[in-house]
Chain A
Amino acid sequence: MSPRAIRPRKRSVASSGASEVIEVYIGLRSGGWALGGQTQAWEAHESPALGLERWACDIGERHGHPWRKARADLWLSGALARPFLFGPVAGIKGWREAEVVAAAAAPEWTGLVGPCRVRLEAWPGEDSTVCTALDASLSDAIESIARSCRITWRNVRPRWSVALDAALGKRPSTALFAVYEEDAFTLLCESTSSGTASPGMSVAATYSPALEEAEAKALWHRMKISFGVQDHDAVQVSVSTPGQGGSMSPELGGSWPPTGGAAT
């Protein structure tokens, strides 16, 4: 199957900055929700599913109607939705099979425990591609909570992918991208060195728990040197959250809610 077979996907609504968008952020240990860019609630939780259920039902009660469900974007932290490079894998016959193989490989590559659901960004037959893994039980919980709390998810995406959209919007030549979150440090790198056979993604990984600041900076510099990334093509985003008390690196920017997010 050819990579062209991938269906075109619409651009996220969240990145358009709608004023009355309901956004839910769920991390490994805390989460909350915002309405129109204003944080409505933020609290630590025992498990992502419990936190998500609490906020979803809160949103459903406050913004749902008897005849219409509340619509919200769900952003997942890098610790929950982790990217990894998958493939190339020869002999795969279809997307379904590719996803099954990727899901089987996901725990080993991402460190997630238990069965995973994956999303492939391209056909993994000829080249490696970015694949994002999510715990299957959390994926099921997201679906069942939406039904029970009368809420419709407009988007269920990793927070880092939304930040990447914003970064690419401001700087299309971005080759090295890192997102700092409370519970994860996600790194994506595209090789720009001359002589590289393929211009595709070279690194896609999430470090959870998040690296210490010194470790993160060291890794950042190693990546820049290893893959020949210029400073102006390297973008770091720190997603500060109300529970975090500020960004890891003040100069990196980033904010919660993501509609007000900044990339440097």
Chain B
Amino acid sequence: MKRVEAQFKPVWRATRVALGGLAFLTLATVVAVGVVVWEHGRIASLQTRIAQLTAERSASSPQWTSRPAPPYDASARQFLRERAAGWAPMLRTLESGAMVGVTPTSVEFNAQDGVARVRLAYVNSEVLLDYLERINEGVPDAHGKPRWVLVEAHDDGDRSPGSATQLTEGRVQAIATIQSVWLAEPPALNR
């Protein structure tokens, strides 16, 4: 005798909930795929547009060149250079070294190269050297050497009028020239 199965187990049927879920999943999948496809198309069109615009710009627009310097450029740079020049420390050394027998008569300062040139009237060479020593004290140059240097001195002993030796306030004085270099930071000029 063979066995008898007689299986009446209900066959699985999709309920409304299952069908609804399946429909929702299908719809969601379709929508997701559609969105992805649309987004890919949009990205491709944007990339094409970017490439097109880049090509148009490179073809039509002039090459980027540096802006020409304005007409006041040189004057402005000169002005800034003079403002940034070492006027103050130079004048401070002259003031700090003031002494009887040496009188600064003129001060020339070239901001372009930072060279200060001072004319001095002095009574004798010893006083002049003392003066030089005093104004060089504590202000060495970048190489550690005395900043102020004697450029020229005229004391030919001739005390007559018109000679290099002059009579000032009733005293006979010789004339000397000293100079120093006060380099400042190069001026910044925003463009």
Q: Is there an interface contact between B1 and A164, defined as CB atoms closer than 8 Å?
A: yes
Task: Find the A residue at minimum CB distance from B6.
Answer: A132
Task: Find the B residue at minimum CB distance from A189.
Answer: B1
Task: Find the A residue at minimum CB distance from B4.
Answer: A161
Which of A97-105, A138-146, A243-251 has 4 or more CB atoms under 8 Å from chain B?
Answer: A138-146
Q: Is there an interface contact between A121 and B4, defined as CB atoms closer than 8 Å?
A: yes
CB-defined contacts of A157 to chain B, threshold 8 Å? 5-8
CB-defined contacts of B4 to chain A, threshold 8 Å? 83, 121, 130, 132, 158, 161, 164, 188
Checking B3, B6, B10 against A143 with a beta-carbon cut-off of 8 angstroms, the contacting residue is B10
A164 to B2, CA, bound (A): 9
CB-defined contacts of B3 to chain A, threshold 8 Å? 161, 164-165, 168
CB-defined contacts of B5 to chain A, threshold 8 Å? 9, 119, 121, 157, 161
Q: Given contacts A164-B1, A190-B1, A201-B1, is CB(A153)–CB(B9) below 8 Å?
A: yes
Is B75 an interface residue when CB atoms closer than 8 A count as contact? no
Is A117 an interface residue when CB atoms closer than 8 A count as contact? yes
Give the one of B5, B6, B7, B10 with max A CB within 10 A.
B6
Q: Is there an interface contact between A175 and B1, defined as CB atoms closer than 8 Å?
A: yes
Q: Is there an interface contact between A177 and B6, defined as CB atoms closer than 8 Å?
A: no
Task: Find the B residue at minimum CB distance from A177.
Answer: B1
Interface string of B1-44 (1 = CB under 8 A from A): 11111111110000100000000000000000000000000000
Task: Find the B residue at minimum CB distance from A147.
Answer: B15
Checking B1, B9, B15 against A154 with a beta-carbon cut-off of 8 angstroms, the contacting residue is B9
Interface size counted on chain A using CB atoms at 8 A: 31
A191 to B4, CA, bound (A): 16
Q: State the main secondary structure of chain B at its contact with A.
A: loop
Task: Find the A residue at minimum CB distance from B9.
Answer: A156
Task: Find the A residue at minimum CB distance from B2.
Answer: A121
A45 to B15, CA, bound (A): 30
Is A59 an interface residue when CB atoms closer than 8 A count as contact? no
Task: Find the A residue at minimum CB distance from B13.
Answer: A143
Task: Find the A residue at minimum CB distance from B15.
Answer: A147
A188 to B4, CA, bound (A): 10
CB-defined contacts of B8 to chain A, threshold 8 Å? 76, 81, 117, 119, 132, 134, 139, 142, 156-157
A6 to B10, CA, bound (A): 18
A155 to B4, CA, bound (A): 13
Smallest CB separation, A148 vs chain B (Å): 12
A121 to B8, CA, bound (A): 12
Q: Is there an interface contact between B6 and A158, defined as CB atoms closer than 8 Å?
A: yes
A165 to B1, CA, bound (A): 10
A161 to B8, CA, bound (A): 12
Task: Find the B residue at minimum CB distance from A169.
Answer: B3
Is A174 an interface residue when CB atoms closer than 8 A count as contact? yes
A168 to B6, CA, bound (A): 16
Smallest CB separation, B9 vs chain A (Å): 5
Q: Supply 8 further A-B pairs (C-beta < 8 A) apart from A9-B7, A119-B6.
A: A130-B6, A142-B10, A157-B8, A161-B3, A164-B1, A175-B1, A177-B1, A188-B1
Binding site for B on A (CB under 8 A): 9, 76, 81, 83, 117, 119, 121, 130, 132, 134, 139, 142-143, 146-147, 153-158, 161, 164-165, 168, 174-175, 177, 188, 190, 201
Binding site for A on B (CB under 8 A): 1-10, 15
A-B contact pairs, 28 of them (CB 8 A): A9-B7, A119-B6, A119-B7, A119-B8, A121-B2, A121-B6, A130-B4, A130-B6, A132-B4, A139-B8, A153-B10, A156-B7, A156-B8, A156-B9, A156-B10, A157-B7, A158-B4, A161-B3, A161-B5, A164-B1, A164-B3, A168-B3, A174-B1, A175-B1, A177-B1, A188-B4, A190-B1, A201-B1
